[in-house]
Amino acid sequence: MSRSRVVISLVAVLIAIVIQTTVFAPGRIQPLGVAPALITLVVIAVAPQVESEYLLLIGFTAGVLMDLIGSGTLGLWAMTMTTVAYAAGRLKHRFPDGLVYIGGTVFVLTVASQLLFVLLGTLFGQGTISEPGVFWKILLPGVWNLLLAAPVFWVLGKAFRTRQSGWAV
């Protein structure tokens, strides 16, 4: 069962990457000039569905793919998304507490991931922290992810349940 859940999670990450780089590309849907961090949101959203060790691998894989498609130094998103996955794995047991807790976790982890990436980018000589508008690039994805959290959690939850019942049959 774990393997099938990991496969679904990885497919979800791949779909998120395609949507992030097309639908949420500059000139498309970018409210206030900054897109949601959909890949981060998906990694958080699959947390309740897979074991923490697998979640780390999913986060790492998502980060490596982001590094390979992006323009920055390889490995920075890998470290960032692994950290997001680790934190999500530690916090997921509180997700059943309610939407407020989930929303808060999504917002905090998204903002923290953007901030961590900026710090790592600066550490590795990219000067990310001095980019114009960096504050909004850190904050706004958290806000948009907060708004997208409910539909994304719902869609992924349904995907896992559908697949599970399908195999049960």
Partner 1 sequence: MFLSLVAVGFVVATFDVRSSGDGASDVLREGTQSIFTPFQSGVDFVTRPVIGFVDGVSNLAGLRSENERLADRVRELEAQVQATGALAEQVAQLEAINGLAAPDQLTTVTARMNASGPSAFDNVRFIDKGASDGIVVGQAVVDEDGLVGRVDIVSANAARIRLITDPVVSVGVRVLSTNETGIVTGKGDGPLRLEMFRAKEAVYEGDRVITDGSRFPPGIAVGTVRKTADAEVGFVLRTEVDPAARLSKIDYVKVIVGWSPIDAGLGDDESTTTTTAPVTTTTEATTTTTGGG
What's the one-letter identity of residue 168? A
The answer to whether the beta carbons of residues 83 and 34 sit under 8 Å apart is: no
Indicate whether 84 belongs to the interface with partner 1 (CB under 8 A). no
Q: Is 76 helix (H, G, I), strand (E, B) or coil?
A: helix
Distance (Å, rounded) from C-alpha 24 to C-alpha 130? 24
Indicate whether 128 belongs to the interface with partner 1 (CB under 8 A). yes
The answer to whether the beta carbons of residues 68 and 74 sit under 8 Å apart is: yes
Instruction: State the binding string over 86-105 for partner 1 (x if CB under 8 A, else -).
Output: x-------------------
Q: In the set 91, 112, 126, 159, which binds partner 1 (CB under 8 A)?
A: 126
What's the one-letter identity of residue 36? P
Enumerate residues 139-168 that contact partner 1 by CB under 8 A: 141
CB atoms within 10 A of CB 15: 15
Number of residues lying near partner 1 (CB under 8 A): 59
Query: Looking at beta carbons only, is 72 or 103 nearer to partner 1?
Result: 72
Distance (Å, rounded) from C-alpha 52 to C-alpha 89? 5
Q: Is 35 helix (H, G, I), strand (E, B) or coil?
A: coil
Query: Looking at beta carbons only, is 101 or 136 nearer to partner 1?
Result: 136
Query: Looking at beta carbons only, is 21 or 164 nearer to partner 1?
Result: 21
Q: Which chain residues interact with partner 1 by CB under 8 A? A: 14, 17-23, 25-30, 33-35, 37, 39, 53, 56-57, 60, 63, 65-79, 82-83, 86, 114, 117-118, 120-121, 124-128, 130-134, 137, 141
